[in-house]
Structure 1
Amino acid sequence: MATPPEPELSPPFLITAPEGGTLSPFVFNSPHSGRIYPRSFLAASRLDLMTLRRSEDSFVEELFSGAVGLGAPLMQARFPRAFVDVNREAYELDPAMFDGRLPSFANTRSMRVAGGLGTIARIVADGAEIYRRPIGVAEGLDRIERYYKPYHRALRQLVEQSRRLFGTAVVIDCHSMPSARMTQEARRRPDFVLGDRYGTSCASILTDVAQETLQRLGYTVARNKPYAGGFITETYGSPATGVHALQIEINRALYMDETRYIRAGGFAWLMADITHLCRRLMSISAEALRPGRQAAE
């Protein structure tokens, strides 16, 4: 049996339900915006708090909070992705960072593990090593039991509830990305990147409406490059069974100071635009998203 969560992380995630009841099949999910760093984790890290936060999708759950007033639940992690990343397989683990032998079922050879960004990350977003020394296998597995698995159980319950009520469900996976300035890229990054696993994780109407809405608001939008969608988009998105998943990445330069982790002057404006985006997406009829509809067209 898993031990209770760290005191700072009780509860480990939040689900904000609409007061008037769920009015649409949409579920909004912010898996990387958690910013409560357990004291034991900070003590084990060679990095200071501000450096650890480079992997964090700061304030994304606030930007999408308007969806709740429109009738959709919003789920958010309170733990940071540097601590445990729910947008990975359950056991994408790097054997080099653990003291002890991993279980045979662990996926130790994925590209994400090779890059240092498995379920228990070895590095933060800019490549800095997180830990002073290898961590115990039992500790890593315990994080998966205490945080990862309960998170996905709750997310699956929300999805199944929507599918029962509406005959379909739509997961909007909400993320942010560092600007080109923070990544030393030569070309400016778009304002938004929409990831639908190259058209396989959701009906095209969802991606089309999102792109059209954002472009009408004056934003630059890319599809699937450089982010096509992670584990959540790939795993939950199954249009043939009536479950759709679309990942939305927001350029952090639009709404925050990326070095001080504070909201910038355009935060309220962007939040209003994202609420408008949510409204437009949620205006898509459930009938258009049910299994068989796309094939029929």
Structure 2
Amino acid sequence: MTHAPQPFQLLPGAAESPVILHVPHSSQVIPESLRGSIELDDRALELELDHITDSLTAEIAAAAAEAATATPWRFVNQLSRLVIDPERFPDEREEMLAVGMGAVYTQTTHRERLRPPGVDHQPLIERYFHPYAEAMTAAVGERLGATGRAVVIDVHSYPTEPLPYELHGDGPRPPICLGTDNFHTPAELLAHAEMAFAGFGGTGINSPFAGTYVPLKYYGKDPRVSALMVEIRRDTYMSEPGGLAGPGLTALANALAHLVQALTD
């Protein structure tokens, strides 16, 4: 909960790699200037961060990048998703508005009030959401220019037991959930992912979380941009909520590295 030096970071990879590992929810950093707008005391906020953060996913992506023969690019959110969630729509298109979790969250994972009602969220959208989206769009454009294609791999995690905010929490919760898009997830990409993560007790498709992240400039328009969401069930690599890493982290990073390499080759 300290001031972040920058809201996001693009870590360069190999010139020939089309892969961007996108890590949007790994940080717990909330700038002090924004702490006063959150209606939780320090203990409640700490617990909420443990529940909502995709803990250690930045570490998994970093280890995968180091293990891959051709280093992927990494786009990492340096701020908590309690500041803004860069993967939401900032308007009424966002279905998570039903549980107070649009681009700016107003409710917690347990459906309690996070921010006071009636507050204008536009300053947060302008300061954090739009610059993030523009930078990610530029990163994808750079990969297209350099390699002729771009592959966005979203790296997420989710709790073993569903939380009250989940809209689709009653479905299967496999060790690895692969989120897909009809336009941007070709069968070959999905097959590579299923093979890479085959050793973790099973993969599932679009449950409990579905979809992929593609910048709106390219979404549904440019088939050169492919995308897949990798959702890792947290008990496979850490103690919950917000605990220490377990031995599964290295194995997951190696599997992700295999996926990255297959996509680069």
Q: Would you call these one fold, judging by a TM-score over 0.5? A: yes
Alpha carbons of structure 1 residues 285 and 85: separation in structure 2 relative to 1, 3 Å: closer
Out of 243, 261, 271, which is 2:250 matched to? 271
- Given that residues 108 and 114 in structure 2 are in contact (C-alpha distance below 8 angstroms), is that contact kept between their aligned partners in structure 1? yes
Structure with more of its chain in helix, by fraction: 1
Aligned equivalent of 2:45: 49
Aligned equivalent of 1:36: 29
Partners of 2:34 and 2:118 in 1: how far apart? 10
- Given that residues 42 and 49 in structure 1 are in contact (C-alpha distance below 8 angstroms), is that contact kept between their aligned partners in structure 2? no
Structure number with larger C-alpha Rg? 1
Partners of 1:43 and 1:240 in 2: how far apart? 41
The Cα offsets for residues 12-45 of structure 1, whole Å up to 9 and x where unpaired, read as 1122223xx3331000101111210222433332
Alpha carbons of structure 1 residues 237 and 274: separation in structure 2 relative to 1, 3 Å: farther
Partners of 1:86 and 1:244 in 2: how far apart? 18
Aligned equivalent of 1:75: 75
2:5 aligned partner, one-letter code: S
Instruction: Give unpaired runs (5+ residues) of structure 1.
Output: 1-5, 93-106, 287-297
% same residue: 26
Alpha carbons of structure 1 residues 238 and 250: separation in structure 2 relative to 1, 3 Å: same
- Given that residues 137 and 215 in structure 2 are in contact (C-alpha distance below 8 angstroms), is that contact kept between their aligned partners in structure 1? no
Q: Which has the higher contact order (CA 8 A, sep 6+)?
A: 2
Aligned equivalent of 1:24: 17
- Given that residues 201 and 239 in structure 1 are in contact (C-alpha distance below 8 angstroms), is that contact kept between their aligned partners in structure 2? no
The Cα offsets for residues 72-113 of structure 1, whole Å up to 9 and x where unpaired, read as 111111111122110112x23xxxxxxxxxxxxxx2x64221
Q: Which runs of 4+ in 1 moved over 4 A?
A: 181-188, 233-240
Equivalences for residues 123-138 of structure 1 within 5 A? 123-131=107-115, 133-134=116-117, 136-137=119-120
Asked if 1:160 is matched to 2:160, the reply is no
SS of equivalent residue, structure 1 residue 262: coil
RMSD: 2.6
Partners of 1:192 and 1:208 in 2: how far apart? 14
SS of equivalent residue, structure 1 residue 170: strand
The Cα offsets for residues 218-268 of structure 1, whole Å up to 9 and x where unpaired, read as 3321011221125x2484555853001111101111122223x122322xx
Asked if 1:195 is matched to 2:176, the reply is no
Partners of 2:202 and 2:31 in 1: how far apart? 37
Partners of 1:187 and 1:241 in 2: how far apart? 30
Alpha carbons of structure 1 residues 263 and 233: separation in structure 2 relative to 1, 3 Å: farther
- Given that residues 23 and 72 in structure 1 are in contact (C-alpha distance below 8 angstroms), is that contact kept between their aligned partners in structure 2? no
SS of equivalent residue, structure 1 residue 136: coil
Alpha carbons of structure 1 residues 152 and 67: separation in structure 2 relative to 1, 3 Å: farther
Alpha carbons of structure 1 residues 117 and 186: separation in structure 2 relative to 1, 3 Å: closer
Query: How far does residue 153 in structure 1 lie from its aligned partner after superposition?
Result: 1.4
Instruction: Give unpaired runs (5+ residues) of structure 2.
Output: none
2:184 aligned partner, one-letter code: S
